[in-house]
Structure 1
């Protein structure tokens, strides 16, 4: 596997206070926030670009409706002043946000994704990144999702939804690694 480049961007999707709302249901991967924090600390330490994505809902009553505490970033993952923040209104972080242009003007090609919800905002953003030609990696243990009921009424455990979403992304759009694998590749970038 290739090293994590010196200009690789860490893209943290929707790590907002609203994700802890009980209305979202049972989730998988209880250590996801710790792994996101490990990645964030490493990116800050090595002075790589960090992009925080924030969902601002258009649906009244959403936990991400503007002006509510749910829109705020989780305290441990709050952006620093110089870190880029992108606000989105749909799951895909590239749709009508200027994210692609921001990356292209800086010649950033390698993107490392983490955050929530695996099968929603993460997957839609990663699919766009892959289609746009970016070198995308998803950090599987720094993402999570929730139990989901399909159109037939069957309840799928969050673990299964997460695994299938990762498989979808790995098929054509991105590499899938865990946080330790990504962090181990940071040191390999020094010879680039």
Structure 2
């Protein structure tokens, strides 16, 4: 199987906000490097790139934490979708733009695996797109459960991917995507 021209790379919420140490410990410390590698190859292949930026509170629109990280900063010609909820499809023109561009498949990377990445991936599948989620180009943070138990970032990440794989998406790693691009 190859990744065709009608496949878009979707970078979700790769924002400076997630560098704040108050977020806690996260997994995949090299996730952004993998995102940048995929982005570079995507650009070379002249395939569509879409950046998603989460701004839930309009009064914080100028807050530096909302900025997309330089390592994957959009080029002027690349689309940036601004959302204010977990799904990049709610309240945005993402679906209409994908359909207008005849995009059928999405390769999804970003932050965080169990929140906005998962929600957008699930909706993409429900809307009829074919999502691939890149395991080593996504990341999340440790979390304390409703019952007080601490779950590691690795556990949260793995369980999010397990719940997506083969029902909502194909889970793949960066090398696997690069092989499909060749």
The counterpart of 1:141, out of the listed 133, 136, 156, is 136
The counterpart of 2:85, out of the listed 87, 90, 93, is 90
- Output the CA distance in 2 between the equivalents of 1:82 and 1:175: 28
Moved beyond 4 Å, runs of 4+? none
- Output the CA distance in 2 between the equivalents of 1:59 and 1:76: 25
Superposed displacement of residue 100, structure 1: 0.4
Match of 1:32 in 2: 31
Q: TM-score w.r.t. structure 2 length?
A: 0.97
Match of 1:16 in 2: 15
Pairs aligned (count): 182
Match of 2:152 in 1: 157
1:67 aligns with 2:62: yes
Distance 1:48 1:145, change over 3 A: same
Q: TM-score w.r.t. structure 1 length?
A: 0.92
- Output the CA distance in 2 between the equivalents of 1:21 and 1:101: 34
Structure 2 unaligned runs (5+)?
Answer: none
Superposed displacement of residue 171, structure 1: 4.1
Match of 1:58 in 2: 57
- Output the CA distance in 1 between the equivalents of 2:61 and 2:58: 10
1:113 aligns with 2:108: yes
